[in-house]
Amino acid sequence: METWQIMLGFQALTACISLGVVLNFMFSKDTLDNEELEKQEADKLSVETSQHLTY
């Protein structure tokens, strides 16, 4: 196998993987809701509360 075939093959491979990841994201049935953010804020609040309790 010639070098250009190997290198362009790798390029095609990484490009296909990237496309697959994007298409998987695009057509996923899960909704992009705010649950995680709300959870994060709740975590942050609990940390701040615990810090406040130490003073």
Partner 1 sequence: MSLQELSMIFFFAFLIFLAIVAYLSSKQKVAGVSADVEYYLGGHSTPTVVLAFSYVTSSISAACFMGDPGIMSTVGWPYYWVVIAIVPGLIIPAVLLMPKMRKQAEKLGSLTIPEYLGDRYNSPALRLIIAGVISVFYIFPLVAQFKGAAVLLESFTGISFNMGLAIMTVVIIFYVIVGGLRSVAWTDFVQGLPMLVISIGLLLVSLNAVGGFSGLEEKLSQIDPNMLRVVQDEAPDAQMSLSGVLGNFVFWCVIFISQPYLCSRFLAIPNVKRRTIGIFLITSLILSIIYNSFYIAGLTGRVLFPNVQADYLTVTMAINLLPTAVAAFMMVGIFAAMMSTATSVLLVIGQAIGRDFYSKTINKNASPEKEVLVTRIVIVVVGLICFAFNYVNPPEFLSVVLYLGLSGIGSCIGVPLFAAIISKKSTKEGAIVSSIVGPIAYMIFNYGVGFNFWFAGLLAIVVAAACMIGISFIINKKRKSIVVETAEA
Q: How far is the CB of 9 from partner 1 (least distance, A)?
A: 10
Enumerate residues 1-55 that contact partner 1 by CB under 8 A: 2-8, 10-11, 14-15, 17-19, 21-23, 25-28, 32, 34, 36-37, 39-40, 43-44, 47-48, 50-51, 53-54
Cα 14–11–15 angle (5° rounding)?
A: 40
Listing DSSP states for 10-40 in one string gives HHHHHHHHHHHHHHHHHT--S---SHHHHHH
Least Cβ distance, residue 11 to partner 1 (angstroms): 5
